[in-house]
């Protein structure tokens, strides 16, 4: 995994060198680039998009030359269209969607092509008779009953409308660790050992990011795939493995979650905040006594 991470860092460096710093990295192998400034603001949207194509070609060539890998790139007027364009020809594709052609480009695609439409929403849309993005474009009804309050935005997206800005923040909202057992178990020693390791892993990640957490959550899954979570919030944020471990044990006991064997056990923390000076100083003072 570290190999992937290192490769990802190298490629993102390469991309920044060619396209500028406006890069939103979504995962190890995916990023959005905002290149409006580089291509210049003159001309219509279509002209600007066409001027971005040579840059996309240069990035593809550099990634192949310097990292020996194929990159797939979608060029479009916004994140939605660029994302869909990039997934249309993998690997090694370069797909361009113009502002003037975006609605037509999306029409024949399945509804699930839209970012945020997963299995459940796709099935709900199909029940309403909407299978393709074109069906959504043509639908005049209010389908909030099927897909919830998201309907208005979904309909705009079906036409390729998307004004989400790139998100450059690297804020972490939660940290978690979980394990699925090869065989379901209710063995307390096994479960405690697992929780301890997970708590240590989480504490390590928190400390690397200088974060502490207010809320600790445990997650269990049984043989029938029933999955439960239980959480507890503290007044003071905590960051050490033993506190996270103790609270997760307490949650398991308090809610009697190990009444039957577990297939999965996990721990997570949320309500993250920067570690304060006092929290940094306290353990130090204790060790000096």
Partner DNA sequence: TCTGGGGTCCTAGGACCC
Annotated catalytic sites, by residue?
A: 30
Which of these, 195, 203, 103, 108, lies nearest to 156 by C-alpha position?
A: 103
For 63, residues 6+ apart whose C-beta sits below 8 A from its C-beta are: 11, 14, 15, 69, 70, 71
What's the min distance (Å) between Cβ of 42 and DNA? 32
| CB-nearer residue toward DNA: 55 or 220 | 220
What's the min distance (Å) between Cβ of 179 and DNA? 5
Distances (CA, A) of 116 to 19, 138, 154, 158: 27, 20, 9, 12
What's the min distance (Å) between Cβ of 51 and DNA? 26
Which of these, 255, 258, 273, lies nearest to 217 by C-alpha position?
A: 255
Token digits of residue 46? 């279509």
Which of these, 173, 262, 171, 176, lies nearest to 217 by C-alpha position?
A: 176
What's the min distance (Å) between Cβ of 150 and DNA? 6
What's the min distance (Å) between Cβ of 126 and DNA? 11
For 124, residues 6+ apart whose C-beta sits below 8 A from its C-beta are: 146, 147
| CB-nearer residue toward DNA: 96 or 147 | 147
Interface with DNA (CB under 7 A): 26-30, 83, 112, 115-122, 148-150, 171-180, 201, 205, 215, 217, 225, 227-233, 255, 264, 266, 268, 270
């Amino acid at each position: 995994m570290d190999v992937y991470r290192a490769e990802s860092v190298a490629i993102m460096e390469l991309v920044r060198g060619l396209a500028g710093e406006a890069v939103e990295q979504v995962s190890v192998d995916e990023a959005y680039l905002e290149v409006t400034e580089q291509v210049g603001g003159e001309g219509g949207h279509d002209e600007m998009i066409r001027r971005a194509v040579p840059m996309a070609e240069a990035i593809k060539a550099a990634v192949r030359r310097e990292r020996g890998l194929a990159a797939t790139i979608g060029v479009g007027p916004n994140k939605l269209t660029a994302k869909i364009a990039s997934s249309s020809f993998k690997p090694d594709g370069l797909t361009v969607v113009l502002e003037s052609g975006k609605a037509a480009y999306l029409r024949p695609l399945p509804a699930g092509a839209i970012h945020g439409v997963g299995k459940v929403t796709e099935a709900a849309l199909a029940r309403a008779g909407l299978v393709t993005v074109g069906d959504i474009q043509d639908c005049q009804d209010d389908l909030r009953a099927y897909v919830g309050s998201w309907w208005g935005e979904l309909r705009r997206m079906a036409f390729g409308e998307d004004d989400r800005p790139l998100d450059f923040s690297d804020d972490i909202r939660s940290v978690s660790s979980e394990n699925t057992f090869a065989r379901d178990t209710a063995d307390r020693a096994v479960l405690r050992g697992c929780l301890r390791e997970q708590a240590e892993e989480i504490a390590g990640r928190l400390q690397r990011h200088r974060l502490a957490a207010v809320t600790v959550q445990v997650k269990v899954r049984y043989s029938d795939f029933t999955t439960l979570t239980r959480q507890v919030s503290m007044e003071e944020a905590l960051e050490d493995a033993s506190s996270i471990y103790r609270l997760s044990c307490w949650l398991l006991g308090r809610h009697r979650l190990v009444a039957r064997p577990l297939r999965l056990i996990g721990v997570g923390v949320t309500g993250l905040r920067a570690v304060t000076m006092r929290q940094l100083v306290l353990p130090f003072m204790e060790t000096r006594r």
